[in-house]
């Protein structure tokens, strides 16, 4: 009996000991969890504070040194700090040296705002070792101060590339293909982000392909200047585009419109082209008429659906012109409807109705005249049309009477 009692007492003490240890462990675990939470909260708060300070450091510099608005500065700072860190102790010195380098080469705050908006990390670059060699290279290549400003303002990513491995080979190829320093400047100022590498890899093969089709280099240069990105696609992709120009648009490679067809195919998907077909069909054009129109005027097909609809509505519903005639008159689609076609249409109607001029040209002939020529021949000599023309074009009668009106086409 005594043994049984002793065992019960021993078991009870053991259970109490286990409960104490459990409570102790829970307290310790809770304390450690609290410590971790405290450390995490502190580190998170520190990180947030650091990021916030970095954002303000960068944004404040943009506002105070380059004239950014607070909203613009915050947007650019956020964009920069998403992938980069700012060492505040060195940032101001680095940024100032970068800005001074740009200003030494003729850039003003307007240029710098444009450049930094596109490429925020430039302010954290080493001006001496990273940026100066690029400026020096451009000068050695015969670029004037205005050339450098134009190219870098349009495409600051050029400063990301190595002179020896990327920029120099790209310049050599561009000079070889374009044959003119001015064309080189234009292409460099138009190519998009990261296009420098594609010049080296893709431009020569694509130009060689067009040359094998018998297309003169002068024509190729003309289109390269207008749409350089189209001709820097991967060679196989570019070759597929040329095949689709023949298969889908019916434009043969010996046609003067072939390169315009390439531009169209590079700008529109096949669904986009079908959408244009449906618009013309809705105005009564046959498949054959549309195809003939595209073959003759592929660039006219690249305009927005809304522009084409508005144009066809005026030409066909108001002027009652037929597809067969419109196919031969690309200027009806390329000239501005509001600023050129409608004003000149109104003037010709008044001259004809009032018998103010013996011979009134057709609208297609009139819209091809320069502003000065049209004003001199059909507007200035007839006070009866001054107010109408001024209202249509948005110019003042005073400017009109002085003959100093220039209307955008």
DSSP string, 203-271: IHHHHHHHHHTT--HHHHHHHHHH-GGGGGS-HHHHHHHHHHHHHHH---TTSTTHHHHHHHHHH--HH
pLDDT in tens, 104-160: 999 999 999 999 999 998 998 999 999 999 999 999 989 999 999 999 999 898 898
Residue 5 has pLDDT above 50, yes or no: no
Contact indicator for 366, 377 with CB cutoff of 8 Å: no
Joined tokens for residue 327: 């196919």
Residue 342 has pLDDT above 90, yes or no: yes
pLDDT in tens, 359-399: 899 999 999 999 889 998 999 899 888 888 888 887 776 66
Residue 82: its pLDDT value, please?
78
What is d(CA 79, CA 124) in angstroms, rounded to the nearest whole number? 14
What is d(CA 218, CA 76) in angstroms, rounded to the nearest whole number? 42
Residue 8 has pLDDT above 60, yes or no: no
The helix (H) or strand (E) run that includes residue 357 is none
What is d(CA 373, CA 87) in angstroms, rounded to the nearest whole number? 62
Confidence of residue 402 (pLDDT cuts 50, 70, 90): low
Tell how far CA 306 is from the center of its chain. 21
Q: End-to-end alpha-carbon separation of the chain, Å?
A: 117
The helix/strand/coil state of 272 is helix
SS (H, E, C) 303-321: CCHHHHHHHHHHHHHHCCC
Residue 58: its pLDDT value, please?
86
Residue 288: its pLDDT value, please?
95
What is d(CA 149, CA 143) in angstroms, rounded to the nearest whole number? 10
What is d(CA 359, CA 367) in angstroms, rounded to the nearest whole number? 16
Contact indicator for 180, 222 with CB cutoff of 8 Å: no
Greater model confidence, 304 or 192: 304
Non-local (6+) Cβ contacts of 372 within 8 A are 403, 406
Give this prediction's pTM.
0.74
Residues 229, 233, 235, 241, CA torsion sign: negative
From 21-35, 249-263, 314-328, the region with the lowest mean pLDDT? 21-35
Residue 49: its pLDDT value, please?
39
Smallest Cα–Cα separation from 291: which of 328, 244, 251? 251
What is d(CA 75, CA 79) in angstroms, rounded to the nearest whole number? 6
Percent over 70 (pLDDT), the chain? 82
What is d(CA 23, CA 16) in angstroms, rounded to the nearest whole number? 11
**Concatenated DSSP letters of 88-153:** HHHHHHHHHHHHHHHHHTT--HHHHHHHHHH-GGGGGS-IIIIIHHHHHHHHHTT--HHHHHHHHH
Contact indicator for 246, 252 with CB cutoff of 8 Å: yes
Joined tokens for residue 22: 């459990």
Contact indicator for 112, 149 with CB cutoff of 8 Å: no
pLDDT in tens, 56-84: 788 889 999 999 999 999 999 888 887 67
Residues 133, 136, 137, 143, CA torsion sign: positive
All structural domains of the chain with their residue ranges = 51-127, 161-264, 268-334, 337-402
Smallest Cα–Cα separation from 401: which of 51, 312, 389, 158? 389
Joined tokens for residue 168: 């120099």
Confidence of residue 21 (pLDDT cuts 50, 70, 90): very low
Residue 332 has pLDDT above 80, yes or no: yes
Greater model confidence, 388 or 54: 388
Residue 30: its pLDDT value, please?
47
Joined tokens for residue 397: 């009668």
What is d(CA 75, CA 96) in angstroms, rounded to the nearest whole number? 20
């Amino acid at each position: 009996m005594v043994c049984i009692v002793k065992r019960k007492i021993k078991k009870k003490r053991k259970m109490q000991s286990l409960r104490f240890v459990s409570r102790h462990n829970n307290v310790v675990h809770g304390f450690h969890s609290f410590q971790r939470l405290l450390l995490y909260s502190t580190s998170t708060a520190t990180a947030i504070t650091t990021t916030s300070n970095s954002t303000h450091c960068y944004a404040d510099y943009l506002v105070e040194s380059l004239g950014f608005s607070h909203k613009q500065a915050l947007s650019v700072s956020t964009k920069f700090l998403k992938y980069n860190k700012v060492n505040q102790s060195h940032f101001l010195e680095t940024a100032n040296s970068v800005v001074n380098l740009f200003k030494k080469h003729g850039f003003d705050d307007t240029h710098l705002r444009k450049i930094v908006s596109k490429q925020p990390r430039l302010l954290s670059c080493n001006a001496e070792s990273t940026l100066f060699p690029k400026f020096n290279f451009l000068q050695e290549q015969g670029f004037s101060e205005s050339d450098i400003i134009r190219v870098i303002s349009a495409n600051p990513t050029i400063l990301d590339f190595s002179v020896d491995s990327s920029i120099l080979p790209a310049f050599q190829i561009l000079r070889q293909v374009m044959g003119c320093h001015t064309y080189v400047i234009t292409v460099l100022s138009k190519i998009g982000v990261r296009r420098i590498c594609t010049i080296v890899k893709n431009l020569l093969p694509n130009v060689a392909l067009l040359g094998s089709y018998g297309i003169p280099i002068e024509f190729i240069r003309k289109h390269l200047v207008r749409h350089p990105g189209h001709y820097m696609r991967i060679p196989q992709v570019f070759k597929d585009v040329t095949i689709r120009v023949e298969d889908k648009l019916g434009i043969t490679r010996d046609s003067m419109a072939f390169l315009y067809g390439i531009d169209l195919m590079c700008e529109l998907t096949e669904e986009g082209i079908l959408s244009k077909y449906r618009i013309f069909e809705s105005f009564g054009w046959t498949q054959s008429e549309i195809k003939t129109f595209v073959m003759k005027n592929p660039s006219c097909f690249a305009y927005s659906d809304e522009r084409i609809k508005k144009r066809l509505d005026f030409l066909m519903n108001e002027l009652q012109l037929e597809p067969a005639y419109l196919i031969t008159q690309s200027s009806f689609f390329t000239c501005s409807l509001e600023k050129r076609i409608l004003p000149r249409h109104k003037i010709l109607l008044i001259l004809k109705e009032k018998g103010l001029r013996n011979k009134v040209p057709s609208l297609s002939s009139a819209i091809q005249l320069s502003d000065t020529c049209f004003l001199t021949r059909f507007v200035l000599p007839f006070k009866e049309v001054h107010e109408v023309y001024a209202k249509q074009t948005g110019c003042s009668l005073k400017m009109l009477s002085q003959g100093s009106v220039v209307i955008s086409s």
